[in-house]
Chain A
Amino acid sequence: MAQQKIPSRTPAQPLKFVISVTAVAATLGGWALLASRHSPAGAAQTAEAVPNAVSAAPAWLLEPPVIPTVQPLVISDGQRPAPGTAGSAQVPGALYQRGTPAVVRRPAPIVVTRSSR
């Protein structure tokens, strides 16, 4: 099927040319500006530069935190659970206290129902 060509009603060709040239110029200019600010030579110069002055850290930064973030758990030997005794820990809030209680172990059957023999 033959395509039908739509006739142009405005002189778009010069306008397109101006837009394209402007866009290419702006892109190239931006690249040049960025390259001048972050070139490897510039970076090396920054790393090797000697600071003119060192300011002291503020006092609040050197003080210990007001609210403890991690409190070490102190457990005496009398309280420490023996290995394999899940559910017997005495330390409140300790994670191992939430183990499976010993009473829910599968019991052995006392008798078995089967057809007469």
Chain B
Amino acid sequence: MPSIQFYAMGCQMHAILESTASLATGELARVPAWFAAWERILSRFREDSELSALNRRAGDGWVQVSETLWEVLTAALSAARRSRGLVTPTILPALEGAGYDRSFADLPRQVSDTSSGAAQPATGDWQKIRMDRRRRAVALPPAIRLDLGGIAKGWAADTAVQRLSVFGPALVDAGGDIAIRGTRAGGTPWPIGIADPQRPDEYLELLLLTGGGVATSGRDVRRWRRGGRENHHIIDPRNGTPADTDVLTATVIAPSAREAEVGAKTALILGSDAGRAWLATQPHMAGLLVTEHGRIIRTPDLAAYCWHEPAIEGVVP
């Protein structure tokens, strides 16, 4: 089965295409170039990225943007609207304030505390961003700067799998945000493990999916110490600081990888009780939460997507 692995957007990527046609393998080989191009547009860590240029022009009026930045920003604002501001792209000042001011690979695990003031909430900031569809232009209010990290990976997985699926069933794993399209040969689903955050070599469930997306958001890996306190990269916009949550990782299945990413992040920020209740109101999502105490919470409909030990036939009571 043709597949390709590469490093992009600060994560390990993996693309699989179930076709051996020469055109298909040629398209698969182009996937790393797609991601590299998207990273040049969407990365907040690159000074020369289009996103960084847009952030520098906050308060300067309308800025025409590329189709890629337009699409991802549209997806990010849609996520903010649907999560009532819990997953918003306007958290960049809060991320930098928490010490996450460079790529995680370059970030020391002990960050010096140089904060200049109290954290600022960012829940409603996204509503101040203006979008002009006709001119494909964006206007950021002063002091608002954007981070598209999670949603960009989900969007990239969805977009790549859509392109690959022209040639056959495909799966794209963008650092844990996974998009699937089409059943595998023989009509079988794609088996996808949900990693156990406390035993990384083991998995908690085996999903069997034929389409849509799955994503995991967590504070188990991307964390550092700052001012004697442990920080992580999931910002709660309600107070502008790393989310104070009992959830260690949240995994969500949804119709697309970007929706799954938004669902997982929302559930993690809300915490186990409110997160489970919120997921129950999302008919197109199923999820699994792992708390810091090792408790595993599954939404009732998760079982429909999981592999089960089959019952033994032929035993008549």
Contacts and interface: CB of A to CB of B under 8 A. Distances in A.
B218 interface: yes
A117 B103 CA distance: 11
A98 B176 contact: no
Nearest to A112: B193
Contacts of A117: 11-12, 175, 221-222
A113 B307 contact: no
B175 A107 contact: no
A42 interface: no
B307 A107 contact: yes
B314 interface: yes
A113 B214 CA distance: 7
B292 to A, nearest CB: 13
Given A107-B206, A109-B192, A115 B220 contact: yes
Interface in B202-248: 203, 206-208, 214-222
Contacts of A109: 191-193, 203, 206
Question: What is the predominant secondary structure among interface residues of chain B facing chain A?
Answer: strand
Given A100-B313, A107-B206, A109-B191, A115 B219 contact: yes
A40 B116 CA distance: 113
B45 to A, nearest CB: 14
B176 A115 contact: yes
A33 interface: no
B216 A114 contact: yes
A115 B218 contact: yes
Interface residues of B, number: 44
Question: What is the predominant secondary structure among interface residues of chain A facing chain B?
Answer: loop
Contact of B310 (A95, A100, A111, A113): A100
B154 to A, nearest CB: 11
A35 to B, nearest CB: 52
A91 to B, nearest CB: 14
A113 B173 CA distance: 8
B211 to A, nearest CB: 15
Interface string B170-202: 010101111000000000101111110100100
B200 A114 contact: yes
A115 B217 contact: yes
A14 B123 CA distance: 107
Contacts of A110: 16, 171, 190-192
Contacts of B2: none
Contact of B175 (A95, A104, A108, A116): A116
B314 to A, nearest CB: 3
Contact of B194 (A95, A99, A106, A113): A113
A110 to B, nearest CB: 6
A113 B11 contact: no
B251 A113 contact: yes
A95 B314 CA distance: 8
Contact of B176 (A100, A108, A114): A114
B307 A106 contact: yes
A106 B307 CA distance: 7
A113 B218 contact: no
A115 B191 CA distance: 18
B44 interface: no
B313 A116 contact: no
Interface in A67-112: 95, 98-100, 104, 106-112
Interface of B: 10-12, 14, 16, 104, 150, 153, 171, 173, 175-178, 188, 190-195, 197, 200, 203, 206-208, 214-222, 249, 251, 307, 309-310, 312-314
12 contacts: A98-B314, A104-B310, A107-B206, A111-B171, A111-B178, A112-B194, A113-B177, A113-B195, A115-B176, A115-B217, A116-B218, A117-B12
Which 9 A-B pairs have CB atoms at the shortest separation, nearest pair first?
Answer: A115-B218, A98-B314, A109-B193, A114-B195, A112-B193, A107-B191, A117-B221, A104-B310, A111-B173
Given A110-B191, A116-B153, 11 more contacts: A106-B309, A107-B208, A108-B191, A112-B176, A112-B195, A113-B176, A113-B194, A113-B207, A115-B249, A116-B150, A117-B175
